[in-house]
């Protein structure tokens, strides 16, 4: 099939595009064309690359038609954030494409009542990002329910991790110094009692889920799916696991979240607050059942690839320059 991937050069696209090419699809990679691909692969030689600035083209009312003019059988949208953006695209491709697979987020959930949460639980997000993603989802899934609507699938990744960019760390933010403290045995302060949770996923496992949603589109259409590792990590369990990579015990202190935020760098403190107060832990049973989704990476394995690449690029300095204490999945 001819598959148009919007946002193809990003974290997940770097894994998804080669997967689709290797599966025999004709792939058109759409991006702004302003950055280097996150992941190089020989499969890109077989891909048609198209540069489109989504923001500018949507303002001009042309983006949807430009995608439709690429004659897709299927559209994969990695970078839709609002209902208005989804409506614009659907209006143009409905009746011309047979399926739209769109990337949402586990941030459509608010504070969870039971964990791991299923896809219907506590859909009361706060913040512009989560509210925008939920409104987008609701519009897209309604399309699948209409007699003449466009079949859609919505995937909700957790905290995407992998080589080439910082992962969310055990204090719930992006401060790379946290990895150094754990690697060198320095004390680390965690918010509250360190029992809140983070739910990571490797970018290639997200790509796997997109590929499976296409392959099993008849079962997947009209559904939303969580896409994460099998299990979430508590903050203290996360910190303990990272310290263990270097043969160390984590030296942990604990303070109330408000105090933690007050004594943190402004931006990083707010990022921690966002993650800790949500404390996501979600179920992937639905994706396992209907999509045959089988994540290859645990949360720690997914994060390890990020930390290893930060070390290799000199952005962090680890105790022994390696992550020899951690094993990746076979073939990774």
For the record, the structure tokens of 202 come out as 């490797």
pLDDT in tens, 155-181: 999 999 999 889 999 999 999 999 999
User: How far from each other are the two terminal CA atoms of the chain, in whole angstroms?
Assistant: 27
**Around 220, how many Cα atoms within 13 Å sit in the side-chain half-sphere?**
26
Per-residue confidence (pLDDT) for residue 227, from 0 to 100: 98
Per-residue confidence (pLDDT) for residue 41, from 0 to 100: 87
How far apart CA 322 and CA 183 sit, in angstroms, is: 10
Identify whether 116 is preceded by a cis peptide bond (ω within 30 of 0): yes
Per-residue confidence (pLDDT) for residue 50, from 0 to 100: 96
Predicted structure pTM score: 0.95
Buried b (16+ CB within 10 A) or exposed e, 80-101: bbbbebbebbbebbbeebebbb
For the record, the structure tokens of 214 come out as 């296409």
Please state the CATH superfamily assignment of the domain spanning residues 2-160+201-227 in this structure: NAD(P)-binding Rossmann-like Domain (3.40.50.720)
Per-residue confidence (pLDDT) for residue 33, from 0 to 100: 76
How far apart CA 14 and CA 207 sit, in angstroms, is: 9
Per-residue confidence (pLDDT) for residue 265, from 0 to 100: 85
How far apart CA 180 and CA 170 sit, in angstroms, is: 12
- Give the chain's residues under pLDDT 70: 34-35, 319-328, 330-332
């Amino acid at each position: 099939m001819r598959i148009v991937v919007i946002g193809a050069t990003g974290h997940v696209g770097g894994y998804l595009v080669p997967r689709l090419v290797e599966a025999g699809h004709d792939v058109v990679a759409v991006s702004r064309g302003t950055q280097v691909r996150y992941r190089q692969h020989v499969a890109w030689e077989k891909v048609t690359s198209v540069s489109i600035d989504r923001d500018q083209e949507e303002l001009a009312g042309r983006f949807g038609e430009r995608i439709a003019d690429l004659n897709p059988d299927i559209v994969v949208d990695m970078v839709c954030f609002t209902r208005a953006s989804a409506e614009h695209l659907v209006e143009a491709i409905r009746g011309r494409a047979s399926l739209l697979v769109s990337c949402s987020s586990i941030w459509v959930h608010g504070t969870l009542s039971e964990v791991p949460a299923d896809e219907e639980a506590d859909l009361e997000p706060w913040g512009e990002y989560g509210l925008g993603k939920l409104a987008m989802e609701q519009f897209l899934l309604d399309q699948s329910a209409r007699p003449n609507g466009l079949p859609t699938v919505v995937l909700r990744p957790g905290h995407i991790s992998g080589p080439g960019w910082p992962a969310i760390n055990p204090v719930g933010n992006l401060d790379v110094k946290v990895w150094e403290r754990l690697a060198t045995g320095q004390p680390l302060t965690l918010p509250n009692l360190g029992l809140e949770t983070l739910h990571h996923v490797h970018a290639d496992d997200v790509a796997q889920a997109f590929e499976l949603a296409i392959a099993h589109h008849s079962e997947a259409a009209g559904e939303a799916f969580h896409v994460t590792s099998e299990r979430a990590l508590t903050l203290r369990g996360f910190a303990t696991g990272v310290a263990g990579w270097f043969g160390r015990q984590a030296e942990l202190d604990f303070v109330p979240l408000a105090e933690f935020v007050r004594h943190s760098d402004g931006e990083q403190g707010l990022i921690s607050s966002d993650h800790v107060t949500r404390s996501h832990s979600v179920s992937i049973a639905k994706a396992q059942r209907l999509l045959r989704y089988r994540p290859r990476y645990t949360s720690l394995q997914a994060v390890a690839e990020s930390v290893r690449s930060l070390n290799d690029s000199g952005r962090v300095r680890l105790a022994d320059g390696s992550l020899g204490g951690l094993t990746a999945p076979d073939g990774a």
